[in-house]
Amino acid sequence: MKIVVIGGGPGGYVAAIKAAMMGAEVTIVEKEKVGGTCLNVGCIPTKTLLASSEILEAVKEAKEFGINVLGDVQVDFPAVMKRKDKIVEQLVKGIEFIFESKGVKLVRGFGRLAGKDKVEVTMADGAKEILEADKIILATGSVPIVPGMFPYDRERIITSDEALFLQEAPTSLIIVGGGVIGCEFGQFFSKMGTKITIVEMAEQLLPFEDEDVAKQLSRAFKRDKMKMIHGEKIVNCVVEGDVVKATLEGGKTIEAEKALISVGRKPYLENLGLEEVGIEVRNGKILVNDQMETTVPGIYAIGDIVDSPFLAHVASKEGLVAVENAMGKSKKISYKAVPRCVYTDPEVAAVGITEKQLIEKGMDYHVGRFEFRGLGKAQAIGKFQGFVKVLVDHEDKIVGASVVGPHATDLLAELTVAVHLGLTAEEVGDVIHPHPTLSEALMEALHDVHKACVHSL
């Protein structure tokens, strides 16, 4: 079985490795670095930067823990970026090493469909090569959206792609969009000394999460002296010399050294040859079934180019499902329990349906909640802002959950399993949780569903 994968991001490279492990002859085509957006200009580099700002914050707060740090604490911004680059480089090399060890052939160039069983690759020097394939997996990812009103010059008006390669923190920054990308970059640069203004057209940060979740994060941002403008949008933006001027819908003008556009991403489908082979595209995304197969048998599509959440872990799962089916098995994708993570301080993590959605659907539900400040471990480590919130249906099945607080993105795994398996609050709440740990907050929230939480006031 010959399988060709177009795109080496978290969906494509995982699919390629899995296919090789299952005995296929695999070729992966990537025009840039393997790892895609996630590894090179997304998940990994942003978390690396946030780790640096977290260390900075810990040093500043050291005195509260009885540790005296003598002298001024200074940020070496180029060194922060250099560490990020080193980690990314190591991980890219790691993927390439796995390719070699598993027998995955890496072809560097731009891949497009040249037929239902052929991929044309254009190399950097213009040379072309045709790859024969029994099955093809499309995994070309996405690119940032930049609305036309912004004079995108990659210097004053930037996206996350350029923000990750700045060699000094801007003195001031307008962030357009208060979603995951905007919040993470906003808090990082704020801790680096940048004056931040986030403009979000919705009435809250993280518009797709519940109001109480967004409020908790907003309180933290206010403590960091970050300015937030909700419920307004930018209608005009110009660069005048060294200043970016943005005009809000209400007529007010805000200024900064740079503006970071973080309003979302769009599928990268340019020049892929989809129409030539008859692959159906709907609303700008490739149409697939629950086995990740397109409307052309034998060609699969995964990740940001299909109608599913723009998340690396979703793309990876879709890649595994696509390969299983390409290799003759029968595997279906389920989006019932997709984790959503924001790596701010406090972290935000959620899975399943939100309370807002439950209300909109008119569903009968119950809520369990527990504040981290009620935990001994949270008090001991000085991280007690936030809460765990569990949502159950009329049968006590856990249908959604949110965690805002220390290590929220790690703690969410237990509740993700619960939503995926359809477990009840009673079943998971009966599990003995270790003490003293942050995971006790999950247990307490589950107990609170039945008003049986012994540590609530």
Binding-site residues for FAD, in ranges, read 47, 111, 140-142, 304
β-sheet bridge partners, residue 106: 28
- Crossing angle of helices 12-21 and 77-102, rounded to 10°: 30
Q: Detail the residues annotated as belonging to a binding site for NAD(+).
A: 177-184, 200, 264
- Helical H segments across 103-227, by residue range: 160-163, 180-191, 211-223
E-assigned strands of 210-334?
227-230, 234-240, 243-248, 253-256, 258-261, 265-267, 281-282, 285-286, 299-301
For residues 345 and 385, the answer to whether their CB atoms sit within 8 Å is no
- The counts of H helices and E strands in the chain are 14, 25
The amino acid present at 93, given as its one-letter code, is: K
Report d(CA 403, CA 411) in Å as an integer. Answer: 8
For residues 189 and 169, the answer to whether their CB atoms sit within 8 Å is yes
Q: Detail the residues annotated as belonging to a binding site.
A: 47, 111, 140-142, 177-184, 200, 264, 304
Is 435 catalytic? The answer is yes
Q: Which of 15, 10, 83 is nearest to 42 (CA)?
A: 10
The amino acid present at 65, given as its one-letter code, is: F
Q: Which of 435, 447, 450, 455 is catalytic?
A: 435
What separation, in Å, do the N-terminal and C-terminal C-alpha atoms of the chain show? 62
For residues 150 and 157, the answer to whether their CB atoms sit within 8 Å is yes
Q: Catalytic residue numbers?
A: 435
